[in-house]
Amino acid sequence: MKYIDEFQDPDLAARLLDDIRATVTRPWALMEVCGGQTHSIIRHGIDQLLPDEVELIHGPGCPVCVTPLEVIDKALEIASRPEVIFCSFGDMLRVPGSGRDLFQVRAEGGDVRVVYSPLDALRLAEENPDREVVFFGIGFETTAPPNAMTVHQARRRGIRNFSLLVSHVRVPPAIEAIMQSPDCRVQAFLAAGHVCSVMGTAEYPALAERFRVPIVVTGFEPLDVLEGVRRTVRQLERGEHTVDNAYPRAVPPEGNPAARAMLDDVFEVADRAWRGIGVIPDSGWRLSARYRDYDAEHRFQVGDITTLEPAECRSGEVLQGLLKPHECEAFGTTCTPRTPLGATMVSSEGACAAYYLYRRLDLPARPGSRPSPAGAPTAGGTTAVRVPNREDSSVV
């Protein structure tokens, strides 16, 4: 019970945990969708505080992690061109493409810049009319509206030397794909709070009904996660499967209508590849026909770059909850945040990196080869003894 002290309100955390313990009677597997939730869960040891019956499976909700290798390679190709100023969020700098990453492209003379907001990239385009400014538009429904607004502004203000390399993804089709996978073990979802701040909750009842799974909109602060788990377990034990909103302070049912309208104007739904998983139908957006001129893939003719993922990396299984990160043979040996084989080891929201940062010292020796089957103890279960490592101790 040591780590409960780290919660903002330890009493409330203890009460939520008591309630979950009192409710649960048999094993359940819940998937948290959002990478921010994964980070929070591992950092605070929430999975270890929960009763053994409640297993948290870490879903594909880190935008950096699911951006396909092919798109990274396109980004690297565009960023290497002398006329280009390539703008990105900081998280993408170290994501490995086939050979290098954006950090290296910059070291080799590429003009790569990190911006806080896509509007900063648009300003750069205005200030540098003789250069081509490209913004790397990745992310889920939370990040798509800012990028949509930026393209809209570029067109409205006649800024022609700006374009977007788009790799936006949507959560509901991913939930559908996970539920349709023959190996699926997921029995309920904690839906991503900030995605729902934009999109609202209207997309979820049909999914809950069709797959008979509870879907609980959940924030990513530790107490929010506990409350989401509590409500989910209650539904599971009662045999219910409805959409519930455990994060109403940031999620009105209708989301943000202005942002949704802009998404509909600037983007159109398209098939998207997810790194490690493959193509999921209708799972993302591309620029709609009216904005095609602002599509960097089109402008720089990189549409024919195709790349295969390294076979060694099992992030696809990790992202679908079929494997825990430390059960991958490369984890902590050939694959570390310094030498990542897969994107889930790069971003601190990726499950592999989160395990590496907060768990590698307390993990049991790696099981010889194959993952432990469902129900067997894992690091999230009873076998691991949690020892604070240096990252943790500097936090408290």
Partner 1 sequence: MCLAVPGRVLSVEDRDGTRMATVDFGGVVKEVCLEYLPDLRVGEYAIVHVGFALQRLDEESAHRTLELFENLGMLQEEFGDPWEQAAQAGDSDGLGREVQR
Positions touching partner 1 (CB under 8 A) are 8, 34-36, 43, 61-64, 89-91, 93-94, 103, 114, 116-120, 139-140, 142-143, 145-146, 149, 153, 156-157, 192, 194-195, 197-198, 221, 249-252, 256, 258-259, 262, 336-338, 346-349, 353, 356-357, 390-391, 394-395
Give the nearest distance from C-beta 340 to partner 1 in angstroms.
Answer: 9
Residue 313 sits in the site that holds ligand SF4 (CB under 6 A): yes
Give the nearest distance from C-beta 53 to partner 1 in angstroms.
Answer: 28
By beta-carbon proximity to partner 1, the closer residue of 338 and 370 is: 338
Find the length of the chain. 396
Residue 33 sits in the site that holds ligand SF4 (CB under 6 A): no
Size of interface with ligand SF4, in residues (CB under 6 A): 16
Ranges of beta strands (E only) in the chain are 28-32, 54-58, 84-88, 111-114, 132-139, 162-169, 188-192, 215-218, 243-245, 267-274, 278-287
DSSP reduced 3-state for 248 = coil
Residue 71 sits in the site that holds ligand SF4 (CB under 6 A): no
By beta-carbon proximity to ligand SF4, the closer residue of 59 and 325 is: 325
Residue 173: which of partner 1, ligand SF4, none does it interact with, CB under 5 to 8 A by kind? none
Residue 330 sits in the site that holds ligand SF4 (CB under 6 A): yes
Q: How far apart are CA 85 and CA 107, in angstroms?
A: 14
Which of 166, 341, 379, 384 touches ligand SF4 by CB under 6 A?
A: 341
Sign of the dihedral defined by the CA atoms of residues 342, 343, 346, 352, in that order: negative
Q: How far apart are CA 217 and CA 205, in angstroms?
A: 12
Q: Which residues pair with 19 in a beta bridge?
A: none
By beta-carbon proximity to ligand SF4, the closer residue of 267 and 331 is: 331
Q: How far apart are CA 290 and CA 265, in angstroms?
A: 9
Q: Is-contact 282 271, C-beta < 8 A?
A: yes
Q: How far apart are CA 98 and CA 196, in angstroms?
A: 33
Residue 318 sits in the site that holds ligand SF4 (CB under 6 A): yes
